[in-house]
Chain A
Amino acid sequence: MKINGAQILLRALKEEGVDTIFGYPGGAVIDIFDAIVRHFSEDFKFILTRHEQAAVHAADGYARATGKPGICLVTSGPGGTNTVTGLATAYMDSIPVIVFTGQVPTPLIGNDAFQEADIVGITRPCTKHNYLVQKIDDIAHTIKEAFVIACTGRPGPVLIDLPKDIIQAKAKFDYPKQIEIQTYKPTLKAHPPSIARAAELIREAKRPVIYAGGGVLTSGCHEELLTFVKMTGFPVTMTLMGLGCFPGTHPLSLGMLGMHGTYRANMAVNHADLLLAIGARFDDRVTGKVEEFAKNAKIIHIDIDPTSIQKNIKVDVPIVCDAKDALEKLIEALRQEGQSEECGECLKSWHAQLTAWRNEQRLRFDRTTDIIKPQYVIEKLYELTNGKAIISTEVGQNQMWAAQYYLFDSPRTFLTSGGLGTMGYGFPAAIGAQIAFPDKIVIDIAGDGSIQMNIQELATVKQYNLPVKIAILNNGYLGMVRQWQERFYDNVYAHTDILVAPDFVKLAEAYGALGLRATKTNEVEPLILKALETPGPVIMDFVVDREEGVYPMVPAGASLREMILV
């Protein structure tokens, strides 16, 4: 029996185990939406966001929280162009998102037809791969390829552009169970000699540091990492993307490193004699001045993407493979050498040094004020959720404070736009995570600027009655930019004052959600408790100290040693 392209698409999604689609309708995809309601209403939960950008971020948040690909469906032209920021966000952070766009019918392509955009051309540099389907017989195969490419190797977003005549044309449904893509073969297994060399360096190290990134989460090797740390006593610092891949409360967690990293993490990297980089890419926000980064250390770099290796920094032992494979083999190599399962007294003086650095400079803020300190809000959120919430963030100071003060113990509980730094990411990402985990507490830690970039999604949480909580650290500024202006631009606050803003409490109410406001430190705890008790969506508007800054801070391009401490 022949079915149309729309149904082929939806059956293929079913084959892939998809049960949730985020999207927004329009003329070019009306047949697919029609099929969803008429023939597949039992199969998919469809989430109608109020902006296509939010649909992609929601799919991305769903993917980050679950490890499964996020699926998004939008119309041609403006529907497609609205997905660009979402795709670029997912691309920079290696998140498997698959976006289906409608396209004008094939005979009209290139004619400047109504709602035509060359979305494949536009998104080529911000997708892992993309496709324009030109024949009905290609749909199924293309979808299979898209899933393989999005989810394997170094994951990333894939876009499939579907012309309306292809969506309407008919063919037999024939979905490949497995395919080989001749030109796409990620290297998954570590090269044994590299493992042997790495194991040797690991055994010799006196001042080792593990530098763990998002790749540990992608690879799902947090257990192996924990085992490895137990055996070796190596301390772990994480990138922003890596938070949660190693328990933040573990005594050997150094917290985040880099521009707003902890003093002890940056000092440790500086003094290390061995840096074991796992699924991290030596981003400039991490390294500061590259020439000075981990200057005294031999570097082992495990990454599945060959282009990440030797890109920013020369490393001594590159290992291209799935991080899980490398860790398993390293653990095995250590065991064969007779390494015991518990480190015990090992690396004692290094551990003592790490503790000394910790005590020398802790993360801190003024705890005596009546006016709310933003860090205090995060601390309270951490405490009152027992550290068990899924936290998404916007971008700016709010994001950095969340990274510093919420200790993530489990993988896939921290959703943040690390690479692209997309304001407006956090709220829709929280929606995606809440859809995946209806019973978990999901909180978007937001800035007053960022939240306004996708505030329309209050309608989405209302419609689906999603209990997403938004905590706005309301400083009346584009705070992170203001902080740079304070530090490096003589306090000239050029266009960063955003005191003119909606009343967020009333705004929440306008959308049928609950809005709460705190203006004094002692109001913070009761407000959070009230929000957590509320079954539906809540905006918590914390009016915080306007000029609080994020510290420590390494100025852009400086060495990690040059931390501004307060």
Chain B
Amino acid sequence: MESRHVISVLVENKPGVLARVSGMFSGRAFNIHSLSVAPTMSPDVSRMTVVTYGSEAIIEQIIKQLRKLINVIKVQDLTQGDYVDREMALVRVKATSSKRADVLRIVDIFRGKIVDIASDSMIVEITGGAGKIEAMIELLTPLGILELIRTGTVALPRGRKSTRYSEPSE
């Protein structure tokens, strides 16, 4: 019954707003799987993308509770429609000269990029949906992953449906 939801939240870009949002989640025992925040085209508005898991009732509460926060402008559950979501990962993988070709092959398949090379390791950059990133991590693991960092998901609805501030909400 628990399913993944990608929730897009437009908020006022003011101090303490992130704390309000994350505090609402922790205070009500909702889970945040990932969260990313950055300003939008309009500098006084930020967009948060929250990935969370929950039953329908929980997701309904999460959305309503978000809307109730004074600094929240607009909330949309992108999983209700078509959307594009991406995250990025940087992976430092063991790559002594004999293994470099293996790494490059995998990176190529996933259309990743090498962004740093040292004598015994490389940093791979990859962008994509969570599934793609996990698949590449799985293939790189046998070569030896030294360090790994992933961003949270960012997402937009497909087509002309806008989540911009200027649009009337809902």
Enumerate chain A interface residues (CB-CB to B < 8 A): 120-121, 124-125, 128-129, 132, 149, 181-184, 305-307, 310-311
Contacts and interface: CB of A to CB of B under 8 A. Distances in A.
B19 A124 contact: yes
Interface string B8-19: 000010011001
A311 B15 CA distance: 30
A132 B27 CA distance: 21
Given A307-B65, A310-B60, A311-B61, A129 B19 contact: no
A101 to B, nearest CB: 15
A184 B20 CA distance: 15
A121 B19 contact: yes
Contacts of A120: 16
A306 B16 contact: no
Contact of B57 (A128, A129, A310): A310
Contact of A307 (B16, B23, B27, B61): B61
B109 to A, nearest CB: 45
B90 interface: no
B57 A306 contact: no
A184 B70 contact: yes
Contacts of B24: 125
Contact of A182 (B27, B67, B73): B73
B23 to A, nearest CB: 6
Contacts of B71: 183
Interface residues of B, number: 19
A307 B64 contact: yes
Nearest to A308: B64
A179 B15 CA distance: 21
A306 B61 CA distance: 9
Contacts of B16: 120-121, 124, 132
B126 interface: no
A271 B170 CA distance: 39
Nearest to A120: B16
B68 interface: yes
Interface string B23-35: 1100100000000
A125 B69 CA distance: 11
28 contacts: A121-B16, A124-B16, A124-B19, A124-B20, A124-B23, A125-B23, A125-B24, A125-B27, A128-B70, A129-B70, A132-B16, A149-B70, A181-B70, A182-B73, A183-B12, A183-B70, A183-B71, A183-B72, A183-B73, A305-B68, A306-B68, A307-B61, A307-B64, A307-B65, A307-B68, A310-B57, A310-B60, A310-B61
Contacts of A305: 68
Nearest to A154: B68
Nearest to B72: A183
Nearest to B24: A125
A450 to B, nearest CB: 27
Contacts of A124: 16, 19-20, 23
B54 to A, nearest CB: 14
Interface string B51-89: 000000100110011011011110000000000000000
A306 B20 contact: no
B157 to A, nearest CB: 21
A184 B71 CA distance: 8
Interface string B105-129: 0000000000000000000000000
A132 B57 CA distance: 34
Given A184-B70, A307-B64, 5 more contacts: A124-B16, A124-B19, A125-B23, A128-B70, A310-B57
Contacts of B68: 305-307
Nearest to A306: B64
A181 B19 CA distance: 20
Nearest to B26: A125
A92 to B, nearest CB: 13
Nearest to B57: A310
A128 B65 CA distance: 12
Residue among A124, A132, A149, A183 with max Cβ neighbours from chain B (10 Å): A183
A128 B60 CA distance: 20
A306 B75 CA distance: 14
Residue among B12, B19, B70 with max Cβ neighbours from chain A (10 Å): B70
B62 to A, nearest CB: 10
Contacts of A184: 70
A544 to B, nearest CB: 39
A182 B73 CA distance: 8
Contacts of A306: 64, 67-68
A269 to B, nearest CB: 22
Contacts of A125: 23-24, 27
A124 B16 CA distance: 9
Contacts of A128: 70
A124 B64 CA distance: 18
Contacts of B12: 183
A124 B23 CA distance: 8
Contacts of B27: 125
Contacts of B23: 124-125
Nearest to A128: B70
B30 to A, nearest CB: 12
A444 B133 CA distance: 64
Residue among A120, A129, A306 with max Cβ neighbours from chain B (10 Å): A306
A129 B20 CA distance: 9
A186 B154 CA distance: 29
A124 B21 CA distance: 10
B51 to A, nearest CB: 21
A149 B71 CA distance: 12
B92 to A, nearest CB: 35
A149 B65 CA distance: 16
A490 to B, nearest CB: 32
A495 to B, nearest CB: 29
Contacts of A121: 16, 19
B47 to A, nearest CB: 14
A98 to B, nearest CB: 14
B69 to A, nearest CB: 8
A52 B60 CA distance: 38
Contacts of A183: 12, 70-73
Contacts of B67: 306
